[in-house]
Amino acid sequence: MLTGCIDGFRGANVQIDLSPATPVQARIGAAPMGTELPANMHFKLYAVQEGTTERLFEIARFEVHRIVDVTSPCFIDVGEHVPYPGIHVTAFESRIDADTGISDPANPPATASERDQELAATARVRTQYIAALGGDNGLRAVTSASPATYPAVASDCHGPSNQIPPPSCSDNESNQRRLALCQAAWNADKDLWEGTDRVLTSPLHGVTRGMVLNPMTPITGAPVGGAQFFVDNALDNIDAYAIYFQADGLDPPGMDVPGTQLYFGRPTMPTRGVSHVHLVSPLNPALTAEMAVFADLGEDDVHF
């Protein structure tokens, strides 16, 4: 029998609570409003080592999105369990109405079955939930980052085969074309993120790292928040951490340009191997974030 050693993971775990005021990225195709950032932006988390020269190195990259974006051409239903694969979710209620013949669940036709009445009522509840989830007080997801974009949206339901049908097109042919084009875009980039209202922590594509802090979420009223990253660097001997935001595609080949600093903070002395970092924004001192760094997991003495 042969025996040997297996090296453990020598990286680190970074857990971060981003303030509710952390800028969210604008909806696809929309101009930024208020403190929003353009949709084609991303955030970078840097570790800082100080010395004769200051050294920054990127340890994670992420985006911040509304958990649902009704303006995304690929905010669709997917899977064997859904009645209309590929339908744009904003058209779900109207398609249910058309199929059940119920335009007002409070006054359904005498011939409407109990099941159809339930479908029509549930579709309206879903529409209300989506409005709450994506609204000003809705959930914000911390996600994987990608510079990829979706194909163009066609001008009508019978547009070119390489363009996504408009959201209002809910016929089966349009749904199938939309599904195929969206899945092709996702297959081309594993990090292109698209959320769904069906399972909030399981996006249609990409990775959800967690949520921006929200002390009172819509629908349930419960607080949520916290995101985490497992990074390859052990993060030993780090003097500070910083978060920057930057437009996609601005890094010259072979170079890393940080962008605009949003947060900066220095770690406290480790307690049981865990460093705490209070991050403050130089742009707005009232904008803060809290971070815990579990450094060098290969030497981890902390029991979770």
Q: What percent of the chain has pLDDT over 90?
A: 77
Query: Helix 114-133 crosses helix 92-100 at what angle (to 10 degrees)?
Result: 170
Task: Please name the residue that has the structure tokens 């779900």.
Answer: 92
Task: Give the burial class of 274: count Cβ atoms within 10 A of its Cβ; 0-12 exposed, 13-18 middle, 19 or more buried.
Answer: middle
- pLDDT of residue 3 exceeding 80: no
Paired with 18 in beta bridges are 289
Backbone angles phi, psi at 271, to 5 degrees: -115, 115
Number of residues assigned to the chain:
304
Give the tens place of pLDDT for each residue, 171-227.
999 999 999 999 999 999 999 999 999 999 999 999 999 999 999 888 888 999 999
Paired with 47 in beta bridges are 57, 241
Task: Please name the residue that has the structure tokens 């600093």.
Answer: 261
- Region of 81 please: left (phi>0), alpha (psi -120 to 50) or beta: alpha
Give the tens place of pLDDT for each residue, 30-89.
899 998 999 999 999 999 999 877 889 999 999 999 999 999 999 999 999 999 999 999
Give the tens place of pLDDT for each residue, 102-126.
999 999 999 999 999 999 999 999 9
| Average of per-residue pLDDT across 138-167 | 97
Give the tens place of pLDDT for each residue, 233-249.
999 889 999 999 999 98
- Those residues whose C-beta lies under 8 Å from the C-beta of residue 285, and which sit 6 or more positions away, are none
Mean pLDDT of the chain: 91
- 297 or 165, which is more confident: 165
Q: What is the pTM of this model?
A: 0.91
| Average of per-residue pLDDT across 5-11 | 62
CB 43 within 8 A of CB 62: yes
What pLDDT is recorded for position 2?
Answer: 52
